[in-house]
Amino acid sequence: MAWQFDQQVANSFDSHARQHIPDYDRVLDLTLSLCRQKLTSESTILEIGCAVGETVKRLHQQGFEHIHAVDSSADMLAQCPPDTATYYHSVDFPDLDVTFDAVICNWTLHFIQDKKSYLEKIYQALNPGGFLILSEKTENHGLALEQYHQFKRSQGVSDAEIADKAASLVGVMFVDSAEWYRETLTEMGFQQVTVFNAAWCFTSFVAVK
């Protein structure tokens, strides 16, 4: 069965994410740290793929007042903390009359096949000097995949669960290399593209417009 972010996944998303995404909390902490350093409470922030709202909740706790968040899963959005953001249910980039000082897109774009078009919409929605935080699966073979599976085992994921999830992601997850992301973001017009975290199979970037 193809992977989907349904109610069952939403109900256990936080623990599931920590079992399957290396450096999950570290990336969230670094994301929040960058926002605190570069933004003010009046800055506009969009999170793409907000899942059950962990990042939104943390941003709200830090005093950010203009948070927007989109997810393709109604079941995920139903778990998000109310009154902390303006939420949108959409598979596509939301059509908004708002521009943003920061866009956060952690572990989401690899579920979108036409990434370049989506990234172009993000670029257009960013204010000059604004930044994109982007975390993606960037490898899916060889030593990196071996070690990624070992990480999952260390988190209590069984070999059967690893195999089942890999099978369910065929035709659902679309992996491009870290080099592809760097080149695409640069060609798009981002002035600085920096890797701020990397773990087995995953890379996190910040790109400044």
Tell me: the pLDDT tens digits for 80-122?
999 999 999 999 999 889 999 999 999 999 999 999 999 999 9
**8 A C-beta contact, residue 190 and residue 207:** yes
Give the orientation angle of helix 142-154 with respect to helix 159-168, to 10 degrees.
Answer: 130
Exposure string over 67-91, b if 16+ CB within 10 A, otherwise e = bbbbbbbebbbebbeeebbebbeee
Nearest to 179 by CA among 203, 207, 206: 203
pTM metric for this prediction:
0.95
In the CATH scheme, what is the homologous superfamily, with its name and number, of domain 7-208?
Vaccinia Virus protein VP39 (3.40.50.150)
**8 A C-beta contact, residue 209 and residue 189:** yes
Instruction: Tell me the two tokens of residue 26.
Output: 């570290």
**8 A C-beta contact, residue 79 and residue 53:** yes
pLDDT digits 0-9 by tens, 20-59: 999 999 999 999 999 999 999 999 999 999 999 999 999 9
